[in-house]
């Protein structure tokens, strides 16, 4: 039993030395790096979605006109000029139009999921950062508080003023963690809403294609 106590005390001493050596400054640099990365992802996704905006109602009307005239080549040529995710889904559905409504429906469903994966690229990082940045900041605060109390133990002359100053500096890590997390969460939710809108638009316009396929079968 005494050996176990000594071992536990030695382990605690080693952990204390590690925490004192690390401090909280590196947490701030880590949060700064993560925030820069999140900003880069945000701008990349903003440009991505800005270039792929689509007017679902206008596209559905135009596609219906092409299908009514049996001009599949014209519809295909128009969709190939578009960079939108909705157009890519419709192109895959149009490619199997002659195989019946069932094939069109399954192809469109699969293509929609593939396009969704493309739209969600990088968003997992934003969601993870938004959920965990406050805890990273809190970890930095804990390290700073440990150092502050150690400074008090080794310098009792300064007293509580030294501890309060050290704790105040340590709490900056928590504040920075929240500052990084809040925009990441807001941006993540905004992009998720944009993705749901694109998926809903693809589903709505694809029904025009599906209706045409069903009418050919009847």
- Report the sign of the C-alpha dihedral through residues 60, 66, 70, 74, in that order: negative
More reliable by pLDDT, 46 or 216: 46
Interatomic CA distance for residues 79 and 65, integer angstroms: 13
Residue the block writes with tokens 């968003």: 123
3-state secondary structure of 15: helix
Maximum distance among all Cα pairs of the chain, rounded to whole angstroms: 93
Q: Flag whether pLDDT at 2 surpasses 50.
A: no
pLDDT at 161 (0 to 100): 66
Q: Flag whether pLDDT at 151 surpasses 70.
A: no
Kindly state the DSSP code that residue 178 receives in the 8-state scheme: H
Interatomic CA distance for residues 31 and 139, integer angstroms: 12
Give per-residue pLDDT as tens, 157-211.
555 666 666 677 778 888 999 999 999 999 999 999 999 999 999 999 999 888 8
Interatomic CA distance for residues 66 and 108, integer angstroms: 18
Mean pLDDT of 67-80: 87
Give me 94's structure tokens. 């149009």
Q: Flag whether pLDDT at 8 surpasses 70.
A: no
DSSP H helices in the chain: 2-22, 25-50, 56-68, 72-81, 85-95, 101-119, 123-154, 160-217
Contact 174, 50 (CB under 8 A): no
CB atoms within 10 A of CB 188: 23
Model confidence band, residue 13 (pLDDT cutoffs 50, 70, 90): low
pLDDT at 145 (0 to 100): 79
3-state secondary structure of 216: helix
């Amino acid at each position: 039993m005494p050996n176990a106590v000594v071992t536990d005390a030695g382990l605690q001493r080693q952990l204390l030395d590690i925490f004192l050596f690390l401090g909280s400054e590196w947490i701030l640099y880590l949060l700064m790096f993560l925030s820069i990365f999140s900003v880069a992802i945000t701008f990349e996704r903003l440009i991505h979605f800005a270039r792929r905006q689509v007017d679902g109602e206008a596209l559905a009307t135009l596609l219906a006109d092409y299908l009514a005239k049996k001009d599949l080549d014209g519809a295909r040529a128009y969709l190939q000029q578009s960079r939108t995710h909705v157009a890519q889904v419709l192109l895959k559905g149009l490619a199997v139009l002659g195989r019946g409504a069932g094939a069109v429906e399954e192809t469109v469903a699969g293509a929609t999921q593939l396009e969704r994966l493309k739209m969600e690229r990088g968003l997992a990082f934003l969601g993870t950062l938004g959920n965990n940045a406050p805890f990273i900041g809190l970890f930095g605060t804990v390290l700073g508080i440990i150092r502050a109390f150690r400074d008090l133990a080794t310098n009792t002359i300064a007293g509580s003023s030294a501890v309060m100053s050290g704790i105040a500096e340590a709490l900056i890590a928590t504040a920075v963690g929240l500052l990084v997390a809040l925009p990441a969460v807001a941006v993540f939710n905004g992009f998720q809403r944009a993705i749901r809108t694109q998926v809903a638009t693809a589903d709505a316009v694809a029904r025009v294609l599906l209706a045409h396929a069903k009418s050919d079968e009847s």
